[in-house]
A and B are shown apart, each in its own frame.
Chain A
């Protein structure tokens, strides 16, 4: 069945260090993946996406890596800042399911000063 999961429910990182948030997916038919950030009291916010024909994509301070062999996705945040504190969700889209995306359970990132 379709499922998107996360390795760790919480992650604590020292301010200034890099953060790595991991995600596993089980559906090999998934061809598009998205990372969302959700701050307390707000809706999820799009961060970065990657298609299955790529293995790496970079944005501003963020990098997403995709390993299709082991069905693994990661989000790397460089020089983590207090404003990065949030819950991060990975989500997958299965082309046959049109616009429907499935969200993982989320990882809470907390920043130590």
Chain B
């Protein structure tokens, strides 16, 4: 299995620009999670989906952040407009229904907003 795939691996953008992060979960996994990791705040859950439906988005910082999962094999996290404080590593993770708490993480997208 290829594991969770994220793209791009690195993104540098200017404040005000739109940023789209992409994730392909492990095939057959029913749950998909988006996390943000910073030195100050550690690893934070932003949102998670079950069978493509958003279940808990209480961790999404503000309206500038949005996430979609149009099908079982693809999800996006969009930031519009981006701000320097959004600079972080964004991880996508997936898990299967029979062991939903055991999450498998992707390699992350390192975002720098100038």
| A-contacting residues, B61-105, CB 8 Å | 91, 93, 95, 100-105
Alpha-carbon separation in the docked complex, A73 to B112 (Å): 35
Q: How large is the interface on A (under 10, 10 to 19, 20 to 34, 35 or more residues)?
A: 20 to 34
Alpha-carbon separation in the docked complex, A98 to B42 (Å): 21
- Establish whether residues A46 and B102, one from each chain, have CB atoms under 8 Å apart when the complex forms: yes
| A-contacting residues, B25-46, CB 8 Å | 31, 33, 42-43, 45
**Closest B residue by C-beta to A99:** B100
- Please give the distance in Å from B29's CB to the nearest CB on chain A: 11
Alpha-carbon separation in the docked complex, A42 to B93 (Å): 12
Interface set of B (CB-CB < 8 Å, partner A):
4, 31, 33, 42-43, 45, 48, 50, 55-56, 91, 93, 95, 100-108
Interface set of A (CB-CB < 8 Å, partner B):
32, 34, 36, 41-46, 49, 89, 93, 98-106
